[in-house]
Structure 1
Amino acid sequence: MVIEPNEHLSCVAVVGLGKIGLPLAAMFANNGYQVYGADKNKEVIDSISRGESHVKNEPGLEELVLEAHQKNSLIATNSTVEAVSEANIVVVIVPVLVKENNEIDYQYIDSAVEDIGKGLQEGTLVIFETTLPPGDTVNRFGKRIEEISSLKMGEEFYLAYSPERVYSNRIIEDLNSYPKVVGGFNEQSLERASAFYQNALGCKMIEVSSIETAEFSKVAECVYRDVNIALANELAKFAEKMEVRISEVIEASNSQPFSHLHAPGIGVGGHCIPIYPYFFINKGLNQGLTTLSREINDSMANYAISKLENRVGDLKNKNVLILGLSYRENVKESTKSTSLLLIDQLKEKQANVFVNDPHYSVSEIIDYGVLPLSVNDKMIENIDVVILQAFHKEYETLDFKKFSNCELFFDGRNKLNEEDITQLGILYEGI
Structure 2
Amino acid sequence: MTASSSGLYNSTRPPEGQRTALTGGAVPVTVYGLGKMGLPLAAVYAQATGNVVGVDIDPDVVRTVNDGECHVAKEPGLPELVAEQVERGALRATTDSVEAAKQAAIHVIIVPTPLTDDREPDLAAFEAVLDSIAAGLTPGDMVVVECTVPPGTSRDLVVPYLESESGLSRSEFGVAFCPERTSSGRALQDITESHPKIVGGVDTEATRAASLIYGEITSNDVIAVSDATTAEAVKLFEGVYRDVNIALANELARIRDDLGIDVTEAIDAANTQPYCNIHAPGPGVGGHCIPWYPYFITSRVSAETPLILTAREVNDSMPAFTADTLRDELANAGRTIEGATVAVLGVTYRPGVAETRATPAAGVIDRLNEHGATVLAVDPMLDDDVVASFGATPVALGDLPSKSLDAVVVVTPHEEFDDIEWADFDDLVVVDGRGTLGDIGHRVYTIGGGPRRSGVSHE
TM-score class normalised by the smaller sequence: over 0.9
Compare 119-128 and 221-230 and name the one that shifted more.
Answer: 119-128
Deviation at 1:57, TM superposition (A): 0.6
> Corresponding residue for 1:341?
363
1:259-285 deviations in Å (ceiling 9; x for gaps): 101001110000110011111121235
Compare 34-43 and 143-152 and name the one that shifted more.
Answer: 143-152
Answering whether residue 78 of structure 2 is matched by residue 61 of structure 1, we say: yes
1:242-297 deviations in Å (ceiling 9; x for gaps): 11101211121111111101001110000110011111121235432111100000
> Corresponding residue for 1:15?
32
1:202-255 deviations in Å (ceiling 9; x for gaps): 431000001110011110000000000000111122233111101211121111
> Structure 1: where are the runs of 5+ without partners?
1-5
The answer on whether the counterparts of 1:421 and 1:428 sit within 8 Å (CA) in structure 2 is no
Answering whether residue 202 of structure 2 is matched by residue 185 of structure 1, we say: yes
Aligned residues: 420
Answering whether residue 151 of structure 2 is matched by residue 134 of structure 1, we say: yes
Deviation at 1:429, TM superposition (A): 4.3
> Corresponding residue for 1:211?
228
Of the three residues 295, 302, 305, the one matched with 2:323 is 305
Q: Distance in 1 between matches of 2:401 and 2:24?
A: 60
Q: Distance in 2 between matches of 1:7 and 1:330?
A: 36
Deviation at 1:405, TM superposition (A): 4.9
Answering whether residue 432 of structure 2 is matched by residue 411 of structure 1, we say: yes
Instruction: Give the AA of the match of 1:81.
Output: V
Answering whether residue 66 of structure 2 is matched by residue 44 of structure 1, we say: no
Answering whether residue 342 of structure 2 is matched by residue 320 of structure 1, we say: yes
Deviation at 1:158, TM superposition (A): 0.6
Q: Distance in 1 between matches of 2:221 and 2:252?
A: 37
Q: Distance in 1 between matches of 2:42 and 2:25?
A: 17
> Structure 2: where are the runs of 5+ without partners?
1-22, 449-459
The secondary structure found in structure 1 opposite 2:342 is strand
The secondary structure found in structure 1 opposite 2:426 is coil
Instruction: Give the AA of the match of 2:256.
Output: A
Q: Trace 1:381-396 onto structure 2 (pairs within 5 A).
A: 381-396=403-418
Q: Distance in 2 between matches of 1:380 and 1:77?
A: 48
Instruction: Give the AA of the match of 2:418.
Output: E
1:81-120 deviations in Å (ceiling 9; x for gaps): 1111101000000111112331221221121111111121
> Corresponding residue for 1:420?
440
Identical-residue share of aligned pairs (%)? 36
Compare 305-314 and 46-55 and name the one that shifted more.
Answer: 305-314
| 1:194 to 1:7, Cα distance in 2 relative to 1, 3 A | closer
The secondary structure found in structure 1 opposite 2:441 is helix
1:14-45 deviations in Å (ceiling 9; x for gaps): 00111111111101111123001001011110
Deviation at 1:367, TM superposition (A): 3.5
Q: Distance in 2 between matches of 1:192 and 1:427?
A: 55
> Corresponding residue for 1:121?
138
> Corresponding residue for 1:147?
164
Q: Distance in 2 between matches of 1:144 and 1:249?
A: 52
Q: Trace 1:233-252 onto structure 2 (pairs within 5 A).
A: 233-252=250-269
Answering whether residue 190 of structure 2 is matched by residue 174 of structure 1, we say: yes
Compare 30-39 and 97-106 and name the one that shifted more.
Answer: 97-106
Of the three residues 279, 304, 322, the one matched with 1:262 is 279
The secondary structure found in structure 2 opposite 1:90 is strand
C-alpha root-mean-square deviation of aligned residues, in Å? 1.7
Report the TM-score when normalising by structure 2. Answer: 0.88
Instruction: Give the AA of the match of 1:157.
Output: F
